[in-house]
């Protein structure tokens, strides 16, 4: 049990209890046409019953074979998990959301979203990343290097057509946060941040409303450039009813230095994507991926960030907002 003063003093102190780590029992290989869930540890089930319903935790994707014995009852291929693993994932008592990151690389259709929605419970919510077509200022080569200016950057029409409308049609009320993760800007745009913010505001203001279809739906903006984190950025988000997605990534300040943005946008939901431990540096994703595989144990604990985030979540849901 850990106890520290709340980061949001007006919400009061928070106490966070965590059950002991779950041991992984390596199971046998299973079917290639269905995925059966691993029965959850009773400690996790008991914990889930104590958590507020406004809190939804989850992961990025559900396709990791290394979760055998944690989420799956056997060894399954990544292909099998991609097609059939979501239903088993959603059976875990602590996993009530998932981030659909694949949409960043290629826009999904309404029917694909509908297939996802059909596999999860009614109170499950999806986090979906916008296609890079509208969130990256550059057209990039396969190695990630920018090749030319992207004329579709922050284009409201494309964002609505290729992202918002298909997600709403397919996921319906199960839409949670639709995240615009803005890729690192080239120097020429960083030098013209007021223009970028104005463009961002125009796009967000022109998007179809989420709430008539998805009462929990929210537009969230995640960035990779600290230059965004200004009062003008907050003004843009507030003016269109969007929120800031806490980005736990080495390219950004630590979480404690980002929470002021959420205070300025209060009241509102908390959306967070924990992308990369700071020990790996701003460009250490590939190295971290190799170290962490098969993703079935905590390799680099970050208790300070975890506790700070837990306290922020507790303060948010304690006042009736989603997180």
Kindly report, residue by residue over 164-218, the tens digit of the pLDDT. 999 999 999 999 999 999 999 999 999 999 999 999 999 999 999 999 999 999 9
- The values of phi and psi at residue 248, to 5°, are -90, 90
In a domain, 238, yes or no: yes
In a domain, 61, yes or no: no
| pLDDT given at position 27 | 46
Q: What is the pLDDT of residues 285-318, one digit of tens each?
A: 677 678 887 888 888 889 999 999 999 999 999 9
In a domain, 63, yes or no: no
Residue 177 sits in which domain range? Answer: 96-318
Q: Does pTM top 0.75 for this prediction? A: yes
Q: What is the pLDDT of residues 125-165, one digit of tens each?
A: 999 999 999 999 999 877 667 678 999 999 999 999 999 99
Number of domains in the chain: 1
- Cβ-in-10-Å burial (0-12, 13-18, 19+) of 216 comes to middle
- Burial letters 134-150, b for 16+ CB under 10 A, else e: bbbbbeeeeeeebeeeb
In a domain, 158, yes or no: yes
In a domain, 83, yes or no: no
> Does residue 40 or residue 281 have the better pLDDT?
40
In a domain, 24, yes or no: no
> What CATH code is carried by the domain that includes residue 308?
3.20.20
In a domain, 56, yes or no: no
In a domain, 175, yes or no: yes
């Amino acid at each position: 049990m850990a106890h520290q003063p709340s980061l949001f003093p007006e919400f009061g102190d928070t106490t966070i209890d965590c059950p002991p780590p779950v041991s992984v029992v390596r199971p046998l290989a299973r079917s290639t046409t269905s995925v059966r869930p691993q029965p959850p540890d009773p400690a996790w089930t008991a914990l889930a019953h104590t958590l507020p319903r406004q809190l939804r935790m989850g992961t990025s994707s559900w396709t990791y074979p290394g979760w055998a014995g944690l989420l799956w009852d056997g060894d399954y291929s990544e292909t099998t998990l991609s097609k059939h693993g979501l239903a088993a994932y959603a059976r875990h008592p602590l996993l009530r959301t998932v981030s659909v990151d694949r949409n960043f690389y290629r826009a999904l259709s309404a029917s694909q979203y509908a297939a996802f929605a059909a596999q999860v419970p009614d109170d499950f919510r999806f986090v979906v990343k916008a296609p890079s077509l509208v969130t990256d200022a550059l057209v990039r080569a396969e190695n990630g290097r920018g090749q030319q200016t992207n004329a579709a950057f922050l284009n409201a029409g494309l964002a609505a057509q290729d992202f918002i409308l298909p997600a709403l049609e397919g996921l319906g009320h199960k839409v949670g946060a639709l995240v615009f993760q803005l890729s690192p800007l080239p120097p020429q745009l960083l030098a013209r941040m007021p223009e970028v913010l104005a463009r961002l505001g125009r796009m967000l203001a022109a998007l179809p409303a989420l709430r008539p279809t998805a009462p929990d739906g929210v537009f969230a903006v995640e960035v990779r450039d600290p230059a965004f984190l200004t009062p003008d950025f907050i003004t843009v988000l507030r003016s269109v009813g969007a929120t800031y997605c806490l980005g736990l990534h080495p390219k950004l300040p630590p979480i404690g230095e980002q929470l002021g943005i959420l205070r300025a946008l209060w009241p509102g939901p908390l959306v967070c994507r924990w992308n990369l431990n700071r020990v790996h540096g701003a460009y250490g994703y590939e190295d971290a991926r190799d170290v962490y595989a098969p993703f079935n144990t905590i390799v680099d604990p970050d208790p300070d960030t975890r506790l700070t985030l837990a306290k922020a979540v507790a303060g948010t849901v304690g006042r009736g907002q989603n997180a």
